[in-house]
């Protein structure tokens, strides 16, 4: 968590389908890493969202996407979500 506590917000993008949230911290390093396994799924009402983390060039980007294919609403990231374990996708 120390890595994120010291991170600088860079941008948040709603794609019409899901979200990308990017923060910067030099401690992240420059090597590209993609973290998607094990799966992390969050639920909000009857909707679920999956996540992929991209680490590269001192930035962490969190992609949030709907695993069932129907786009997430623009306010989804502002809602209260619960981590689902084990993942159900």
Phi, psi of 83 (to 5 degrees): -70, 130
> What's this model's pTM, rounded to 2 decimal places?
0.81
pLDDT digits (tens, 9 = 90+) for 26-47: 888 999 999 988 778 888 888 8
- Residues 48 and 70: their CA atoms lie apart, in Å, by 10
- Boundaries of every domain in the chain: 2-69
41: left (phi over 0), alpha (psi -120 to 50) or beta: beta
Q: What is each CA distance from 60 to 42, 49, 77, in whole angstroms?
A: 19, 18, 17
What pLDDT does 62 receive? 93
pLDDT digits (tens, 9 = 90+) for 9-30: 789 999 999 999 999 998 889 9
- Residues 14 and 71: their CA atoms lie apart, in Å, by 10
- Using alpha carbons only, how large is the chain's radius of gyration in Å? 13
């Amino acid at each position: 968590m120390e890595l994120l506590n010291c991170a600088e917000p860079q941008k948040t993008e709603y794609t019409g389908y899901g979200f990308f949230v990017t923060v910067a911290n030099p401690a992240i390093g420059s090597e590209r890493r993609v973290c998607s396994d094990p799966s992390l799924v969050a639920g909000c009402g009857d909707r679920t969202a999956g996540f992929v983390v991209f680490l590269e060039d001192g930035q962490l980007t969190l992609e949030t996407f709907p695993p069932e294919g129907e786009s997430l609403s623009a306010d989804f990231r502002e809602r209260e979500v619960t981590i689902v374990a084990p993942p159900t996708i």
